[in-house]
Chains A and B, each alone.
Chain A
């Protein structure tokens, strides 16, 4: 049983470029959560998605950030026109149903903006 797969593990982008982070949930899981961990801080919730629907995006910055979880394929977190402050670890978690009890976290994508 594969866990949550995130890729790439490390991503370097220059200021102004776009970053696309991918998350493949555990097989059979239809709920995906994205969290961001800034250096020396805890994880902060960004967005909760089900297949083809954004359920809660209360933690997403208002500009430049978007997320999707299409019917087929991985969930994508997209950051346009990256800035140095976007440098962080981005974690994805999936669960079978609503509620965090069955959470499985991926290994994260470490984004560095230079």
Chain B
């Protein structure tokens, strides 16, 4: 099945710093989403981005489907950005909406 790899696994930032999180996937995808799991365990949908670039405030994401990777940019990080960031994909061969999640990047933003 499709493999999803995220890097780095862990990241510690000082408040105000910028960061880039990467997601590589092993096959063509219909769908790619970025999620933030906050320290209370809630999953927040950040972006639906099977291709192209989107921005939402301090966050932006780019997916290059032909090269099978996606990047999540966090600018001017805040302590509330802490948590785990997951990339999840639906393989192009899938027709059920089943998402395959990466292992996540754990981000800690220090004040």
Chain A residues with CB below 8 A from B101, complex form:
35, 42-44
Mostly, the B contact residues are: strand
Question: How far, in Å, is A92 (CB) from chain B's closest CB?
Answer: 11
Whether the pair A107, B42 counts as a contact (CB closer than 8 A) is yes
Residue of A44, A59, A103, A108 with highest tally of chain B CB at under 10 A? A103
Total interface residues on B, CB under 8 Å, equals 22
Please tell me which stretch of B53-61, B65-73, B92-100 contacts chain A, meaning at least 4 of its Cβ atoms lie within 8 angstroms of it: B92-100
Whether the pair A42, B104 counts as a contact (CB closer than 8 A) is yes
A55–B43 alpha-carbon span in the complex (Å): 24
A101–B48 alpha-carbon span in the complex (Å): 7
Chain A residues with CB below 8 A from B31, complex form:
99-101
Residue of A nearest to B4 (CB): A42
Whether the pair A108, B97 counts as a contact (CB closer than 8 A) is no
The 5 closest A-B pairs by CB, nearest first: A42-B101, A100-B97, A105-B43, A43-B101, A99-B97
